[in-house]
């Protein structure tokens, strides 16, 4: 396999389950980043709060940047009206990552991932310092969603995005 050109990030999907730790170990120090799948078309495609917290912690422990894909249409954790599936919120993921970077354990990070209080999560996001934001940008690189408008609408509704800047 030839190397990617300089400056082109590579993301490798990390499996859930027993192989996860070995894959994260293999990625450490390679310059590649982790991709965590956070949803899909079946309920079992969505990791639990504890599984996701452990995966994020595993990335951080190995100094790996990561992105999350699938299922993150909204800022706050919720149950989808059409399927009943539990969806992680991208704001929850951001704040769980911040908590882990600040030394929280995975139990606390899982609690943040489970939080459905939009007001509390928005207030916590407003408290992030420039240093927190820089550290977060260095680790939690992006999230994938099937919608452009839903995340923007959520952030505007939470008062975290100025609608005139959309």
pLDDT at 164: 79
- Alpha-carbon torsion, ordered 33, 74, 148, 36, to 10 deg: 20
Task: Work out the burial of residue 102: count CB atoms within 10 Å of its CB; fewer than 13 is exposed, 13-18 middle, 19 or more buried.
Answer: exposed
Angstrom distance (rounded) from CA 15 to CA 53: 14
Q: What is the mean pLDDT of residues 61-78?
A: 94
| Partners of residue 143 on adjacent β-strands | 68
> For residue 157, is it within any domain?
no
4 falls within a domain: no
79 occurs within a structural domain: yes
- Map residue 139 onto helix, strand or coil: helix
Give domain status of residue 34, yes or no: yes
Q: Report if residue 59 sits inside a domain.
A: yes
* pLDDT tier at 1, thresholds 50, 70, 90: very low
Domain of residue 139, residue span: 11-149
Phi, psi of 6 (to 5 degrees): -55, 135
Q: What is the pLDDT of residue 100?
A: 98
2 found inside a domain? no
Q: Where are the beta strands (DSSP E) in 55-139?
A: 66-69, 78-79, 86-87
Residue 166 in any domain: the answer is no
DSSP H helical ranges for 19-73: 20-27, 49-61
* 3-state SS class at 78: strand
Domain count, the chain: 1
Residues paired with residue 13 on neighbouring β-strands, in sequence order:
35
pTM value > 0.85: yes
Instruction: Please report whether residue 45 resides in a domain.
Output: yes
How many C-beta atoms lie closer than 10 Å to residue 166's C-beta? 10
| Radius of gyration from C-alpha coordinates of the chain | 16
The rounded distance, in Å, linking the Cα atoms of 152 and 145 is 11
**pLDDT for 70-117, tens place per residue?**
988 899 999 999 999 999 999 999 999 999 999 999 999 999 999 999
Instruction: Specify the higher pLDDT residue, 159 or 1.
Output: 159
Residues listed for the chain: 166
| pLDDT above 80: residue 165 | no
**pLDDT score at 140:** 95
- Cβ atoms 122, 158 nearer than 8 A: yes
State pLDDT tens for residues 113-150: 999 999 999 999 999 999 999 999 999 999 988 778 88
Binned at pLDDT 50, 70 and 90, residue 4 comes out as low
């Amino acid at each position: 396999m030839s190397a990617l050109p300089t400056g082109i990030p590579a993301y490798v999907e990390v499996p859930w389950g027993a192989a996860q730790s070995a894959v994260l170990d293999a990625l450490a120090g390679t310059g590649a980043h982790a991709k965590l799948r956070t949803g899909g078309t079946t309920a079992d495609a969505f990791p639990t709060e504890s599984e996701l917290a452990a995966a994020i912690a595993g990335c951080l422990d190995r100094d790996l940047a990561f992105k999350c894909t699938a299922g993150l249409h909204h800022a706050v954790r919720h149950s989808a009206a059409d399927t009943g599936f539990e969806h992680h919120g991208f704001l929850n993921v951001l704040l769980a990552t911040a908590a882990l970077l600040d030394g929280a354990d995975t139990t606390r990070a899982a609690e943040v991932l489970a939080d459905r209080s939009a007001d509390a999560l928005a207030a916590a996001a407003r408290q992030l310092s420039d240093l927190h934001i820089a550290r977060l940008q260095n680790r939690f690189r992006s999230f994938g969603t099937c919608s452009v408008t839903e995340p923007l609408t959520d952030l505007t509704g939470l008062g975290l995005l100025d609608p005139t800047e959309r």
